[in-house]
Amino acid sequence: MSKRLNTVRPLADGSGDASAQAGETCLRRNVSRTLVWGMSASASLIILGWILAAIQGTTGYPPGEYPRSADAIARGLASLKPGAVQAFGFLLLIGTPLARVAVSSAMYFRMRERALGWMSVAVLLVLAGGLLLGQLAE
């Protein structure tokens, strides 16, 4: 297994392996961007749903009910139901860590860190499987 991300080999000037540092910096930057954009988008949608609910005086659903499937969320978004906008925001919030793992996996393979890439693919499959099992249990 390659240890490029875990160790930095010194160069002649003592500064370390420049390509490994550049790859690690790129990985961190891409993961950070994914998390920031996912969090920002989900927070914006949730706040927009609150504002729409305040303006309309309702979530668009009977008390205690909310859209539970992707189809119900899509229909609610098409008619700008505040509850559906909020549900989509929460769905995006839940999906952000999945996107982070997917971005990490792609970056590891790009950096030729196959072992880390396959481990992150395994993590992604476990997370996706957990979501599917949760959906089936409903």
- What is the pLDDT, as a whole number, of residue 66? 86
Whether 93 is covered by a domain: the verdict is: yes
Give the CB-side neighbour count of residue 114, counting CA atoms within 13 A.
Answer: 1
User: Which of residues 137 and 116 earns the better pLDDT score?
Assistant: 116
Whether 122 is covered by a domain: the verdict is: yes
Q: Which of 96, 116, 98, 119 is nearest to 108 (CA)?
A: 116
Whether 13 is covered by a domain: the verdict is: no
Give the DSSP H or E segment for 36: helix 18-56
As a whole number, mean pLDDT of residues 32-52 equals 94
Q: What pTM was estimated for this model as a whole?
A: 0.71
As a whole number, mean pLDDT of residues 19-48 equals 86
Structural domains of the chain, count: 1
Whether 53 is covered by a domain: the verdict is: yes
Which domain does 56 fall in, by range? Answer: 18-137
